[in-house]
Amino acid sequence: MCGIVGYVGLREAQGVLLNCLSRLEYRGYDSCGIAVSNGHIAQFKDAVRVGALKETCPIFEGTAGIGHTRWATHGLPTAINAHPHFDCSQRIAVVHNGIISNYDQLRKLLIDEGHLFVSDTDTEVIPHLIEKYLDDEPITAVEVALSKLEGSFAIAVLIDGYDRIIASRKESPLVIGIGDNEKIIASDVPAILDYTNRVIYLEDGDIAIVSNNEVQVKQNHGGGTVNREIHLIDWDRKQIEKGAYDHYLIKEIHEQPKVIRDSLANYFERETYDFQSLIDSETSSLVILGCGTSYHAALVGKHIIEELLGIQVRTELASEFVNRGRVMPASAAIAITQSGETADVLLSLKKMKQSVARIFVITNVPGSSASRMANHTIFTNAGPEVSVAATKSYTAQLIELYKLALSSNLLEHSIRKQMQAELRQLPALVKQVLDSESEIANYSRMLSDCSTVFYVGRGINFPVALEGALKLKEISYIHAEGYAAGELKHGPFAMLDKRTPVIAMIAKDDVYDPMISSIKEIKARSSPVIAVADESDDSIGSLADVTIRVPHTSSIFSPVINGVVLQLIAYYTAKYKGCPIDFPRNLAKSVTVI
Ligand code: M6R
């Protein structure tokens, strides 16, 4: 995780670095720092958020510098462990994202040679290694130092007296923004959009030597110079502003009707799908994997595909799959990942490549590592998602899964037409849910005093229950459990009492009757029930303590509609509690460690 930036240009670097870092805080925010070069390297770092660093940082003159916002892996979040890290002579500053797995061994070696370490981080070995080889040209010293590192990294190196920044990546994202007479290095595209929309995505093993008017890219291990294409990014700056909203999260929740419309635009206009029949008669079994919210989308995807196409789907938590000894074969695999950089997903993909012929990735980030590993990439149209909690990206993932299933030649024509007609209605239905925001906000006030909340559903709404619970814990810090409603009687009933609300998703589908039975059983344990139910449901009102009515859809689409209700519940509950909604404690948006 962690966000790194670098700037070389004609402006004062400090303002640019701090601005870019504030755009990267979703990657980690327990401490931050900058270093600016101007005859010597000046640095400032602290265990605070970027906003606070802006207030306290002295003014450094200089038009080249690097910066970092941290999510601690090695060592506590303290000022000493914050980046940049330095060599003994304080001439070499390094910011790093990733993990150096052989740092202990390297550190011992360097200490034996007289190097003095001040932090507990793995990163600190990098400037010391560069120092060790600095008799050579800076670029050669960096190359040799990198060849000693094991693990994953994206780094930016600032060397006193050298007017370029050296940047490199291995299994960690790094982009270079190409401005007029200025270049910006960053972990991710949103950081640079204030300055340019032209970017180079570095590849694994690339070393870039970056000056204000040139980017030279070499391949590590003595490889030659390579050309990396410049890509135009069509995200615009407004998408990464909060605008009039209190938080990114609520802004992103509100963007969902547009996200769905955008995702469907081409699909309906052209009456074809770019990935026509990716799931076809050759697909006899499919595996879908992801982590967190993306895993919940995978679980919904299993229902969609099994139900509509009759293909067997296995779902995998990437964080589990990655350590699995034996990989069961499948004819195709889909990895779902908003960021495209989740380490568990990337390693799972690597593993999967040995036994699965066709690999698709559904991701929101063009140029991401996952997209480069796939045979086919399906880009979601969510736009940049800043808040750590995933909302619009989940909805966009579901839309791609619907499109994928509906495009299959295995689907009967009449069902396809009926489903497509319903899909067209989704933006309007989600808007209808958003219109009942104040009512949902009122119910959420009740939850903000609770210490445990259960979420239950059956069938396709079971993963929605898991997602609702994840969202609540993540941003409100209230303990929440997502359960298959029928499982409550196998243990969790022991937890239920009048202080433990249960949020129940109940759709008008095949599992309606068993859901009603579950709600009755819950009521018999005195728990208050908040039902999220179809507007046409006449019976639920007399059973539940509170009923949140949602517009009618086929239950296959209810994960979208109900998902939005649960996002609003989590948001308002966290807001009543005064939680730091966009940047919850201990988390980061892009989880690049395993
Ligand atoms: O970028 P990814 O979709 O691969 O991320 C996976 C999870 O880390 C992510 O969904 C996480 O669970 C979210 N913070 C949930 O809101």
Query: Residue 286 to residues 167, 183, 334, 390: CA-CA distances in angstroms?
Result: 39, 43, 8, 25
Look up tokens 């050296």; give the residue. 166
Structure token digits, residue 430? 């989600």
What's the pLDDT tens digit per position in 35-61?
A: 999 989 999 999 999 999 999 999 999
Look up tokens 């925010």; give the residue. 29
Please count the CA atoms within 13 angstroms of the CA of 66 that sit on its side-chain side.
30
**Is the torsion defined by CA of 471, 476, 481, 483 positive or negative?**
negative
Confidence band, pLDDT 50/70/90 cuts, at residue 592 = confident
pLDDT at residue 308, as a whole number: 94
- The b/e string for 181-203 (b: 16+ C-beta within 10 A; e otherwise) is ebbbbbbbbbbbbbbbbebbbbe
Confidence band, pLDDT 50/70/90 cuts, at residue 520 = very high
Confidence band, pLDDT 50/70/90 cuts, at residue 512 = very high
Which one, of 54, 37, 55, 50, lies nearest residue 3 by Cα?
A: 50
Residue 413: partners with Cβ closer than 8 Å, 6 or more residues away: none
Share of the chain above pLDDT 70, in %: 98
Q: What is the 3-state secondary structure (H, E, C) of 445-479?
A: HHHCCCCEEEEEECHHHHHHHHHHHHHHHHHHCCE
Which one, of 50, 44, 54, lies nearest residue 30 by Cα?
A: 50
Going by the DSSP 8-state scheme, the letter that residue 426 receives in this structure is H
Domain ranges of the chain: 3-240, 249-429, 436-579
Least confident of 87-91, 269-273, 478-482, 590-594: 269-273
Confidence band, pLDDT 50/70/90 cuts, at residue 108 = very high
272 has pLDDT over 60:
no
- Give this prediction's pTM: 0.88
pLDDT at residue 593, as a whole number: 75
- Among protein residues, the one whose CA lies closest to atom 4 of ligand 1: 337
d(CA 143, CA 430): 52
Look up tokens 């190359």; give the residue. 143
Q: Closest ligand 1 atom to the C-alpha of 590?
A: 1
Q: Are 539 and 516 in contact (CB under 8 A)?
A: yes
**Angle 591-254-269 (CA atoms, 0-180°, nearest 5)?**
95
271 has pLDDT over 80:
no
Summarize the confidence of residues 157-168 as an average pLDDT.
95
The amino acid occupying position 315 is T
Distance from residue 120's CA to the centre of ligand 1 (Å): 28
Task: For ligand 1, pick from 387, 591, 594 the residue to mutate: most ligand atoms within 8 Å of CB.
Answer: 591
Please list every protein residue whose CB sits less than 6 Å from any atom of ligand 1: 291-294, 337-339, 342, 345, 388-390, 470, 474, 591
Distance from residue 393's CA to the centre of ligand 1 (Å): 9
d(CA 428, CA 437): 15
pLDDT at residue 369, as a whole number: 87
* Start-end of H helices in 161-288: 248-254, 256-270
Q: Are 402 and 424 in contact (CB under 8 A)?
A: no
Confidence band, pLDDT 50/70/90 cuts, at residue 260 = very high
- Among protein residues, the one whose CA lies closest to atom 9 of ligand 1: 292
pLDDT at residue 282, as a whole number: 81
Residues annotated as catalytic (active site), given as ranges? 2, 589
Distance from residue 268's CA to the centre of ligand 1 (Å): 29
Task: For ligand 1, pick from 249, 288, 322, 339 the residue to mutate: most ligand atoms within 8 Å of CB.
Answer: 339
Whole-angstrom distance between the N-terminal and C-terminal Cα of the chain?
11
Confidence band, pLDDT 50/70/90 cuts, at residue 274 = low
Does the 3-240 domain belong in CATH 3.60.20.10? yes
Confidence band, pLDDT 50/70/90 cuts, at residue 240 = confident
Query: Which CATH superfamily, name and number, covers 436-579?
Result: Glucose-6-phosphate isomerase like protein; domain 1 (3.40.50.10490)
- Among protein residues, the one whose CA lies closest to atom 11 of ligand 1: 292
Please count the CA atoms within 13 angstroms of the CA of 522 that sit on its side-chain side.
32
- Same fold flag, 249-429 and 436-579: yes
pLDDT at residue 235, as a whole number: 78
Select the more confidently predicted residue: 355 or 10. 10
Task: For ligand 1, pick from 294, 365, 385, 567 the residue to mutate: most ligand atoms within 8 Å of CB.
Answer: 294
Distance from residue 593's CA to the centre of ligand 1 (Å): 13
Distance from residue 11's CA to the centre of ligand 1 (Å): 36
pLDDT at residue 234, as a whole number: 81
Query: Residue 301 to residues 315, 327, 338, 452: CA-CA distances in angstroms?
Result: 9, 21, 15, 28
Look up tokens 């007029």; give the residue. 180
Least confident of 76-80, 185-189, 326-330, 472-476: 326-330
Distance of CA 50 to the CA centre of its chain: 20
Q: Closest ligand 1 atom to the C-alpha of 591?
A: 8
**Is the torsion defined by CA of 592, 14, 217, 237 positive or negative?**
positive
Q: Are 502 and 544 in contact (CB under 8 A)?
A: no
Structure token digits, residue 387? 């808040």
What's the pLDDT tens digit per position in 276-320?
A: 567 887 888 899 999 999 999 999 999 999 999 999 999 999 999
Distance from residue 490's CA to the centre of ligand 1 (Å): 29
Summarize the confidence of residues 406-427 as an average pLDDT.
93
What's the pLDDT tens digit per position in 394-405?
A: 999 999 999 999
Going by the DSSP 8-state scheme, the letter that residue 562 receives in this structure is H
Share of the chain above pLDDT 90, in %: 81
* SS percent in the chain: helix, strand, coil, step 5: 40, 25, 40
Contacts 24+ apart (CB under 8 A), 119-123: 119/75, 119/80, 119/81, 119/85, 120/74, 120/75, 120/76, 120/80, 120/81, 121/74, 121/75, 121/81, 121/83, 121/85, 122/73, 122/74, 122/96, 122/151, 123/74, 123/83, 123/85, 123/94, 123/95, 123/96
Select the more confidently predicted residue: 125 or 593. 125
d(CA 443, CA 297): 26
- Among protein residues, the one whose CA lies closest to atom 12 of ligand 1: 292
- Among protein residues, the one whose CA lies closest to atom 8 of ligand 1: 292
121 has pLDDT over 80:
yes
**Angle 88-90-91 (CA atoms, 0-180°, nearest 5)?**
115
Confidence band, pLDDT 50/70/90 cuts, at residue 14 = very high
What does the mean pLDDT of the chain come to?
Answer: 93
Distance from residue 401's CA to the centre of ligand 1 (Å): 17
Least confident of 23-27, 211-215, 455-459: 23-27
- What architecture is domain 249-429? 3-Layer(aba) Sandwich (3.40)
H or E segment to which residue 561 belongs:
helix 558-577
Burial of residue 473 (CB within 10 Å: 0-12, 13-18, 19+) is: middle
Do the strands 64-70 and 85-86 form a parallel or antiparallel pair, or are they unpaired? unpaired
- Among protein residues, the one whose CA lies closest to atom 16 of ligand 1: 389
- Among protein residues, the one whose CA lies closest to atom 14 of ligand 1: 389
Going by the DSSP 8-state scheme, the letter that residue 444 receives in this structure is H
Q: Are 9 and 210 in contact (CB under 8 A)?
A: no
Structure token digits, residue 269? 């206009």
Task: For ligand 1, pick from 71, 188, 291, 579 the residue to mutate: most ligand atoms within 8 Å of CB.
Answer: 291
Distance from residue 346's CA to the centre of ligand 1 (Å): 13
504 has pLDDT over 90:
yes
d(CA 432, CA 240): 25
553 has pLDDT over 90:
yes
Going by the DSSP 8-state scheme, the letter that residue 423 receives in this structure is H
pLDDT at residue 594, as a whole number: 76
d(CA 580, CA 313): 38
Query: What SS3 class is residue 364?
Result: coil
